[in-house]
Structure 1
Amino acid sequence: MTSTNVARPRWRTLALAIPGAIVAVAVLIVLARWLRELPAVADFVMTHPGHVALPESAPVGIPAWLAWQHFFNAFFIVLIVRSGWSVRTTQRPAAHWTRNNSGLIRTKRPPKRISLDLWFHQTLDVLWIVNGAIFIVMLFTTGHWMRIVPTSWEVFPNALSAGLQYASLDWPLENGWVNYNSLQVLTYFVTVFVAAPLAIISGLRMSAAWPASTARLNRLYPIELARAVHFPVMLYFVLFLIAHITLVFATGALRNLNHMYAARDGASWLGFWIFAASVVVMVVAWVAARPLILRPLAQLMGTVSR
């Protein structure tokens, strides 16, 4: 069976899932709007408007380094998802890569031969991890961690309130330049401090860098567990991106894009044009991620064979 034939049932399943998802969203909106009319729920939303005040020492605004980090993170995640999907669905890779057992990296074991798609995926993983490490260091040295790490238990009822407001299409008040709402705080916290580490740990277990000769370690952390974690985490990132982009445009596109890409507050078009340029870069990279382009890059670090 060819890879095309394997892919067809997946696309059919996706095509059938889309109408079901639309119906589910419509039901959720109707239910949320009905709940908002109940006196007890209305009082709950009034008491918990959807956000918690930050500590007085919390920084205000989005620095330029965070705007750059946002672009690189989005760039790497998009290509990681693309290359990961290719690894998962390609039956006969166009080329394979073998690391040169020389230079800075030398092992007693013969280098493992992997597909070119997997090489690309793992290379992107390393770049994404480096970018994430820089982000974490900057986050905690500048105090911006207070914007995405809960500092009060009140974040939980306020997150529930914000979710209800989103579901009813009566958006919670937005002022991301100063403070994210509680649902955003919890989502960003889970993405940065839970989903990202799970992706790294499970990806490392599945990579050629994992020490295969350590039988005890392999029993403690079997590869089947890593596979069971890695793919759902990828789906989480895809759903996060869809929800994130949708809400960015639905809750004040120009101001949100200025925060995220231009590191400034206001409703000018600067952030939009920077965002548009970043999308062009990602589309070009997506299209260019083919064996013709990847092969000479991979040959810089190893041997590529058909």
Structure 2
Amino acid sequence: MEQVPHYPLFVVITHGLNILFVTLLMRSGVEVLSSMPKLYWSDGCPPGREWLRLSGKNFGGDSRRPWVSLDEEESWHPVIALPGRKNLGVGRHWHFLTVPFWILTGAVYVAMVFVSGYWSYLVPTHWSIVPQAIRDIGTYLHFQLAPQLPGQPFDAAQKLTYFGVVFVLAPLQIASGVAMSPAMLARFPWYGRLFGGKQGARSVHFLGLCAMLAFVVVHLFMVVVHGIPGEFAKIFLGSEDGDRVLATVVGSLTLLAVVIVHVGATVYSRIDPRRTQRLLGKLVHRFEHMLSRLGRSRQHYRRRDISEYHRVNGYPPTDMGYRQLAADGFGGYQLPVGGLVDHPVTLSLPELARLGMTRQITNHNCIQGWNGIAEWGGVPLSALIDLVQPSKSVSHIVFYAMDDKALTEGRGRYGYFYEAVPIAIARQPQALLALEMNGAPLPIEHGAPLRLRLESQLGYKMVKWIKAIEFVDGIADIGMGQGGYREDQLYYGSSPGI
């Protein structure tokens, strides 16, 4: 049998691409983490019970001062986070842009590994490699180089490590990432339970990030220990017998190019986040939109699953009109529903309830990473759609809220909250106009008198304190044309299925 080259061309190419993709994933992942730098093993995220808190902020469930989950967000430096400084929306765009390219690169690599026979260098075939790898680690700890396996480019410790990274760690990162998708959790609740719930998956994903970072650091250290010119010849020219001067030049230029991409991505994202959103969105949004329509939500949690504490995001309206409505128990509330419909209506809460009440126990997923399970009682959105009879040209339903973000949120943001929802998602069975929570009237902090529930979407699409509903044939003229308040102001994606 012909000997397989130690460093064939596909290894050289995919290795170079992985340097770029893995580092982009790490930095953008850190940006996502900064939005809620607390990790849990169980769903519900009760304050104070996190197993890891990467923040000096500590809010309690019994705090006398009202707080929302955005108060937990940290502003991490652009050197470690892409793009850094509380840019969750843009960070998610970079993360989800990179994911498919990284997966494709890995798929090509694994396929070529088995087609070419290179698998024999990566896949252990006998348990004896484990004690041998332990001995090799001891050799390194004595500041000596371990011997390579006969006829192979790696020693036992290296071979075992590469196998773990390629065939265990990388697939685990993909699987745990999928287990955090609200669309996947809604359609296949059993999948999330494989990790103990969304928070278990989030913790596993974080530990995977730490393991990948440790691998990169040790890998770089070993390159230095073995000698940069010789290692660059293997990595970038495919042969340890290659021209080492040329290899050093090629390797240095490759790493410089990776650094330039990172610097360019960070600077451009911070200078012009709107163009970054639009540019990356052209590639990302189609994937997100497809995932958002994955299928009907099949969530049917039990009462004992209901979270003991359910976080909120967004402070209630502060104007006198809302306060008067609340003081009257929302008896004077009227919901206007119009736009491109045959039968525009204005409904009181009792009139809305007469369209048919239903209840569901579902999992709320916030874009920041926390989740909470609650029972929601309300009217299926499909019942309202059937009542008003939208025209065939309608593509979205716009929900307008009563909260002026300039007053309730600040931070340079302004205007009343609004979100546009594709009508196909609005027609899903568990899409609900909620009037109750956990068997009681909807609390003010959770959106009273009326809020939207879209169980395959992230929380920012589920408008609270609904003031009016409009059926439209496009979103270009709604706000800044990106699909909603968070999309316009914070550059979020318009189809949050992940």
Q: TM-score, normalised by structure 1?
A: 0.69
Structure 1 counterpart of 2:93, from 113, 119, 126: 119
- The letter of the residue matching 2:100 is V
- Which one scores higher on RCO, CA 8 angstroms, separation ≥ 6? 1
Of 207-216 and 120-129, the range deviating more from structure 2: 207-216
The answer for the alignment partner of 1:288 in structure 2 is 264
The answer for the alignment partner of 1:185 in structure 2 is 159
Matches within 5 A, 1:119-138: 119-138=93-112
Tell me the distance in 1 between the aligned counterparts of 2:169 and 2:245.
32
Structure 1 counterpart of 2:253, from 277, 286, 301: 277
Equivalent residues of 1:58, 1:144 under 8 A apart:
no
Instruction: Rate the CA distance shift 1:269–1:176 in 2: closer, same or farther, 3 A.
Output: farther
The answer for the alignment partner of 2:19 in structure 1 is 74
Equivalent residues of 1:148, 1:185 under 8 A apart:
yes
Tell me how far 1:178 sits from its aligned partner. 3.9
Equivalent residues of 2:28, 2:94 under 8 A apart:
yes
Question: Which SS does the other structure have where 2:253 is aligned?
Answer: helix
Instruction: Rate the CA distance shift 1:228–1:63 in 2: closer, same or farther, 3 A.
Output: same
Q: Larger Rg: 1 or 2?
A: 2
Q: Percent same amino acid at aligned positions? A: 26
After superposition, give the CA deviation of every residue in 1:147-190 in whole Å (9 maximum; x if it has no partner): 01112232122212211110000112358994310000000000
The answer for the alignment partner of 1:49 in structure 2 is none
After superposition, give the CA deviation of every residue in 1:61-119 in whole Å (9 maximum; x if it has no partner): 311121011000111001100000011114389xxxxxxxxxxxxxxxxxxxx822112
Equivalent residues of 1:206, 1:227 under 8 A apart:
yes
- The letter of the residue matching 1:147 is Y
The answer for the alignment partner of 1:45 in structure 2 is none
- The letter of the residue matching 2:277 is R
- The letter of the residue matching 2:109 is F
Tell me how far 1:256 sits from its aligned partner. 1.2
Equivalent residues of 1:67, 1:262 under 8 A apart:
yes
Tell me the distance in 2 between the aligned counterparts of 1:62 and 1:69.
11
Tell me the distance in 2 between the aligned counterparts of 1:176 and 1:248.
21
Equivalent residues of 1:122, 1:207 under 8 A apart:
no
Tell me the distance in 1 between the aligned counterparts of 2:74 and 2:225.
42
The answer for the alignment partner of 1:248 in structure 2 is 223
**Paired residues, what number?**
231
Matches within 5 A, 1:85-164: 85-90=30-35, 91=73, 115-164=89-138
CA RMSD of aligned residues (A): 2.4
The answer for the alignment partner of 2:178 in structure 1 is 204
Matches within 5 A, 1:1-20: none
Q: TM-score, normalised by structure 2?
A: 0.43
Tell me the distance in 1 between the aligned counterparts of 2:125 and 2:189.
42
Instruction: Rate the CA distance shift 1:176–1:81 in 2: closer, same or farther, 3 A.
Output: farther
Question: Which SS does the other structure have where 2:252 is aligned?
Answer: helix
Tell me the distance in 2 between the aligned counterparts of 1:228 and 1:277.
36
Instruction: Rate the CA distance shift 1:176–1:240 in 2: closer, same or farther, 3 A.
Output: farther
Task: From the two aligned structures, give the one with the greater strand fraction.
Answer: 2
Tell me how far 1:143 sits from its aligned partner. 0.3
Of 155-164 and 135-144, the range deviating more from structure 2: 155-164
The answer for unaligned runs of 5 or more in structure 1 is 1-55, 94-113
After superposition, give the CA deviation of every residue in 1:119-167 in whole Å (9 maximum; x if it has no partner): 2112211110010000000000000011011122321222122111100
After superposition, give the CA deviation of every residue in 1:236-255 in whole Å (9 maximum; x if it has no partner): 01010000011011112211
Equivalent residues of 1:212, 1:218 under 8 A apart:
no
Question: Which SS does the other structure have where 2:4 is aligned?
Answer: coil
Task: From the two aligned structures, give the one with the greater helix fraction.
Answer: 1
Tell me how far 1:219 sits from its aligned partner. 4.3
Tell me the distance in 2 between the aligned counterparts of 1:204 and 1:234.
15
